Amino acid sequence: MPETPPPSTSPPIAQQEGETLTGRVARGAAWILGAGLSARLLGAVNMIIVARLLAPGDIGLVAVATITMQLLQGFSDIGVSQAVVKFQDADRDDLDTLFTLAVLRGLIVGLLLAGAAPFAAAFYDDPRMLGAFFGVAVFPVVMGFLNPRFFEFERDLKFSREFVTTVLNRVAGVTVSIAIAVMFRTYWAIILGMLAGGVVQLFLSYLLRPFAPRLSFRSFGKVFGFSSWLAGVSFMAALNNKLDVPILARIAGAGGAGFYFMGLQLSEMITGQLAAPLTRALYPGLSALQGDVERMRQAFLRGVAALGAFAMPVAFGFAFVAEDLTALLLGEKWTPVAAVIQILAPVVGLQSLFYATQSYAVALGMTRLVFFRELIFFLVRFPIFVWAAISHGLRGAVIAAAVLGVFHVILSLALYARASGRSFWDPLIGARRSFAAVACMAIYFLIIRTGLPMISAAPLIMRLIGDALIGGSVYLIAHIIFWIFEGRPDGVEKGALDAITAFSRRLSRN
């Protein structure tokens, strides 16, 4: 009999009574949202201060080293957290095998980065690449020793522990990064901040979920059977998402890569943070419904509607205020970033609706379909992006990335249709009120706003506040009107209204 780890403090969520699965997913998403918003706030402060202290070339330099690391990690991702969530009854052998594979992966990625350092310095003709690659190489080694039992909190939808670890590791990273940037004005500020955060996360993973993993391959067959296709998905996703900056660094220089990287980061800064919590919370919820395909599909479509209501309008709003936002946050030397945001942010908003598509397919056991989606995307995307970057520079690369992002949305719709056996258009129909409300917001910014000289002439910060309040109000009011017009159906609006009502009642009792 295989030895089992200490029992979880609660049974798998599929067996838990009392609170509904929807309620548990919503509460889990709220914890991740809280952690994410805190981390994003700290990260935004860090990014703004460091970007003002360092040159765009410094940011581009570290971006190349970091993204190379992420590429190598993506090539070898075994999905430890997904495996722990998927295996509702994971025993000691399963966890030890996952730990062993993660350690080996971290060591191999670290060695590959260190070995690639001299070649990177020669390829980019920048000797600083040597130190950047050596520094970044330490991070995957540290993260390879994370406690696999910590992900049981995710399986049981207990994300409060993740809130603690996320906030504390980000505080450590930001503190170290800003301190070094202020004192030394060096790109090492970013690298050492990242390492400080990783060390704190490693320590907390064992403090909050005590466990002594051992090196073992006893469950290799079981783990490999689940993780092989998932590793393929991560491999292809890494190629699709991480090659842009290294390619641009070679074609447009470290400065051009820095502009692209910063524009993409800002485009995803809030949208990704709103979308990630629901997506993360949905996966264990969907896994718990493996025996009820129709309930799983409905849960996924509710997630799409929620992502459309909250994440998509923020991305479009960022595009509408990109010039003022860039000027306020980064200063004049980062002016080209505004154009990157204007082109990429709306596509990021559209893609945010489908962040949970992979979780849906994986929960159904159709990881192979996700792999082929990413493979097709890469075969189309890579040559087009390279051609656009070589032929038209930074702007051509940004436009190509945006057009190809829309193509990825089409592939995600096809994946949903294949996995569910239902209509290709279901997710878009489910988010129809959000699309209509975003269109109303676009009419305000593109037509009405241009005829309001009082706002245009206001100081920068007041102009941004005014645009955010008015644009957000237009979106919210339009969304409510469309909901009422449809007869107040069950959906994200009703859920939000019920949550506000419940919160008001608690306040009144106190």
Collect all residues with Cβ–Cβ distance below 8 Å to 184 and sequence separation of at least 6: none
List of the chain residues with pLDDT < 70:
1-37, 40, 75-89, 156-157, 159, 225-228, 270, 272-291, 510
Q: Where are the domains of the chain?
A: 13-241, 270-502
As a whole number of angstroms, the distance between CA 272 and CA 355 comes to: 9
Q: H or E element: which one contains 12? A: none
**pLDDT at site 3:** 43
The whole-angstrom distance between residue 60's C-alpha and the CA centroid of its chain comes to 20
What is the pLDDT at residue 10?
A: 46
pTM: 0.74
What is the largest distance, in Å, between two alpha-carbon atoms of the chain?
A: 76
Q: Choose among 38, 229, 225, 250: nearest CA to 123.
A: 250
Fill in the amino acid letter for 381. Answer: R
Kindly report the number of other CB atoms within 10 A of residue 409's CB atom. 17
What would the two tokens of residue 393 be?
Answer: 């520079």
The reported pLDDT for the residue numbered 91 is 83
pLDDT in tens, 197-237: 999 999 999 999 999 999 999 888 877 766 667 777 877 88
Burial bucket for residue 215 (CB in 10 Å: 0-12, 13-18, 19+):
exposed
pLDDT at 12: 46
CA distance 184 to 234: 36
Q: What is the pLDDT of residues 19-33, one digit of tens each?
A: 455 556 556 656 666
Spell out the SS3 assignment of 481-506: HHHHHCCCCCCHHHHHHHHHHHHHHH
CA distances for 452 relative to 316, 399, 409, 461, angstroms: 20, 30, 35, 17
- Please report which residue ranges of 243-270 form alpha helices under DSSP H: 244-251, 253-269
Torsion angle, CA of 78/80/82/83, rounded to 10 degrees? 90
Which of 469, 470, 475, 466 lies closest to 493, judged by CA? Answer: 475
